[in-house]
Chains A and B, each alone.
Chain A
């Protein structure tokens, strides 16, 4: 996706968002990061987030983890800036994929991901889910044949 400039109104919203999170102490010699969310706050939280994060149509953050979730096989999650809350949209069971490596927003508004393990053949999957966590669908199961296996890219 491509980054472009926009409006004063967005700046105001940015300031509002920034007041909802706690600023951490200043680190020497650099810009101070801000912890928006601490993983492990809830039992089924994402653990070990990897791959590309994506903005949804709601301008909130979507991502994947290779650990955590209800089955410890990783998650697809949503983080809402306005509330500071994180929601697990999907916990991978293994048969539907495992260790997803980031998400991409499609022009249809859905989120697409590639999992590098699990699925029907154990060699990873491609899947889709909507921004509300509904309509989770495994679209393709890799066979480790001519289609390859263990896809790693975003």
Chain B
């Protein structure tokens, strides 16, 4: 595991962690910031049962410890973690293990809390990481579903963790074997890509509209008071948009591009530390009530 700084001349790469087999091996997938000083990282294999690990390490590579040693019963072959939701839970999936040895969906916290919330069956093992949505978490499987060409699934956090098969890929139409993590678009649909089938038998870029509604994305998952945060969305306005953070403070864009798809604001004084939901209000629009993954704010360093 390494840290890369493109701003230095020349750019610098710093090795944060060299894995030993008991720590885990083959760290694949997304690394998730957990708090102001540490990261969570998964491995595909290694650990006490050679089924992979979830580890925690300081930003400087310090104080590495294994939080969870996966076993065949809990999951095996991990594909990274989502950012934390407002409850501090990161979601991940595994390609094997669980009740049917077809993989699992789980959540983990930075203090080592861990729970499997779904065991896949019928050879529908996921092979890429998950995506946070308003309702919980969604992902893709490369196989399975009504046509055997893959699925989009979701785990609804509010029901709680009800597993649903949301969409089925059909090789000849949308392509099959989706192998790209879902990305939520500002307009609401999720996007992934298939690698085979569709019109030219080379796969397709597919959207799946689960009715999630419009959203914006934040560029930085962490920010200090006084830092610039980037927002990607549609219909952003320098004069008619207000940014509202859940700690009760508001901000205005300091920059919006001509297309109204990118804006910047400064995390204002008075923002409570910790997770902050952020909403963007545009003049004349109804205020959406729910945000998905908040920015985690820390005191100013200036």
Verify A33–B174 contact, CB threshold 8 A. Answer: yes
Give the number of chain A interface residues (Cβ < 8 Å): 68
User: Chain A 7-38 against B: per-residue CB contact (8 Å), 1 yes, 0 no?
Assistant: 11111011001100100110111111111111
Query: Is residue A50 within 8 Å, beta carbon to beta carbon, of the partner chain?
Result: yes
Question: Which residue of the partner chain, among B183, B186, B202, B218, contacts A10 with CB atoms under 8 Å?
Answer: B186
B154: nearest chain-A partner, CB-CB:
A31
Verify A10–B233 contact, CB threshold 8 A. Answer: yes
Verify A5–B179 contact, CB threshold 8 A. Answer: no
Verify B219–A107 contact, CB threshold 8 A. Answer: yes
Main secondary structure of the interface of B (DSSP, over half): loop
Verify B174–A35 contact, CB threshold 8 A. Answer: yes
Q: Please, how many angstroms separate the alpha-carbon atoms of A58 and B231 in the complex?
A: 11
Segment 151-198 of B: residues with Cβ below 8 Å from A: 151-152, 165-170, 173-175, 179-181, 183-189, 191-193, 195, 198
* A35-B173, A36-B206, A54-B183 known; A107+B218 contact, CB < 8 A: no
Query: Is residue A70 within 8 Å, beta carbon to beta carbon, of the partner chain?
Result: no
Verify B209–A34 contact, CB threshold 8 A. Answer: yes
Query: Is residue B141 within 8 Å, beta carbon to beta carbon, of the partner chain?
Result: no
Residues of chain A within 8 A (CB-CB) of B109 are none
Residues of chain A within 8 A (CB-CB) of B40 are none
B261: nearest chain-A partner, CB-CB:
A59
Verify B259–A59 contact, CB threshold 8 A. Answer: yes
* A31-B166, A112-B6 known; A2+B217 contact, CB < 8 A: yes
Verify A152–B28 contact, CB threshold 8 A. Answer: yes
Of the A-B pairs whose beta carbons lie under 8 Å apart in the complex, a sample of 22, sorted by A's number, is: A6-B215, A6-B235, A6-B285, A7-B285, A21-B207, A29-B165, A29-B168, A34-B174, A34-B206, A35-B173, A39-B202, A39-B203, A39-B204, A40-B199, A41-B199, A41-B200, A45-B202, A49-B203, A54-B183, A107-B230, A147-B15, A152-B28
The 3 A-B pairs with the shortest beta carbon distances in the complex, nearest first, are A14-B187, A5-B288, A40-B200
